[in-house]
Amino acid sequence: MNPIGQYQFIFSDEPKYRIRRHVAFWIFWFLFFAFLYSYVPGHYFLPDVERFPVSLLNSFFFLGAHIFLSYSLMYFVAPRLLLKGKYVAAAFATVCCFFITAFISTITGNYILPFVWNFLFDKHVGPANPTIFLSLLAGLRGGITVGGIAVAIKLMKYWYIKEQTNLRLQKEKTEAQLQLLKAQVHPHFLFNTLNNLYSLTLSQSVNAPKVVTHLSDLLRYMLYECNEDEMPLEKEVEMMRKYVELEKIRYGNRIDVSFVCTGAVNELQIAALLLLPFIENSFKYGISEELDQCWINLHLNADGNKLTFNLSNSHTNNGNENNQAGGIGLQNIKKRLELMYPGKYELLIKSTEEIYNVKLIVYLNRINRTQTKETTPTLSLNSTVVA
């Protein structure tokens, strides 16, 4: 979220907001010091009719020293020295600004204000502080308070905006990575499916029209429906079933496929096309000419926020397990899991001489039906490959 859009008065650099901020800041300090000066020993015994006007005058004239120090620190020391790493120069410049402020305050309290008091109240009033040393200390005390708070607000605003900008850039980077990974999934899937269709058309199979229909549905889903980061799990399951049907048509009686889905899949949402590459790889690497009967077992279970995806397929120890474990689709899945579900998933890939098994446990968000989103537990789990 852009903090400037939400808090215009605080963060916007438009002239109207900046002027309002600064006016409000100095009105506060003017009234604060007017109240404070009305109770200093030198004014406390004055009649009320004189004490409060004198306090207002004091606050108004001393405000000049505070303004000098605040703007010197905010617009020179902080941006040009401190934030650029010139710490020694920043410290020296800050000390110089303090002493210049104390000097301005001393001139104001010992010479300007007595003249104004004498002119307005027709009374002889001496310096606010009888010695230069006390005048400098008094000027430092008030100036450091106001200037310190002013520069603290400036730095807090700077670091907050910088942090929000970094978060926004990180989010945009993550979204760009996800879009790139999804773009890689689409061609990979289409390449395999079009090869299937090509084989069927060459053999003039009666199943070719059904393949075209299923492929059309899958393309419509990928191109027009799954543009969001997450999609209803129910839709993903439907697309996986259609993909399985396409592959069953291709391989016919050579393969036995079991697809079991249990639990409330209609309550969860998942990253679009996250699970499909697992199934692609099962068909691509799990069907071997060396096996008389190949098989693929897929069990998907939704239990609360927990989704368990268990996929096993037959294979032979002919080097295919290395391809299956490191294919383009699986590499993309691992990257997408790390980007979208960090600390909320466990991926276990196990290969033996005859069976290749993938087990994915991931904690998903529920579908937002009432404008409230259920949070998911955070785990410290990693993806592993066991051979």
Q: What string of DSSP letters covers 289-352?
A: TT-SSEEEEEEEEEETTEEEEEEEEE--SSSHHHHHHH-HHHHHHHHHHHHHSTTSEEEEEEE-
Residue with tokens 């999934």: 185
**Full pLDDT tens readout for the chain, 387 residues:** 455 556 677 777 778 888 888 899 999 988 888 887 777 655 555 666 667 777 788 888 888 888 898 999 989 998 888 888 899 999 999 889 888 888 888 888 777 877 777 777 665 554 555 556 566 666 667 777 888 888 888 888 888 888 877 777 677 666 655 565 565 555 655 676 677 677 778 777 777 777 788 878 877 777 677 767 788 999 999 988 988 888 887 777 888 999 999 999 999 999 888 888 888 888 877 776 556 778 999 999 999 999 999 999 988 765 544 555 555 567 778 888 888 888 899 999 998 888 899 999 999 999 876 544 444 454 444 444 444
Residue 96 CB neighbours (<10 A): 12
pTM score, two decimals?
Answer: 0.54
What is the residue extent of each domain of the chain?
3-167, 205-386
Give the architecture (CATH level 2) of 205-386: 2-Layer Sandwich (3.30)
With CA atoms as reference, report the closest residue to 358 among 283, 251, 279.
279
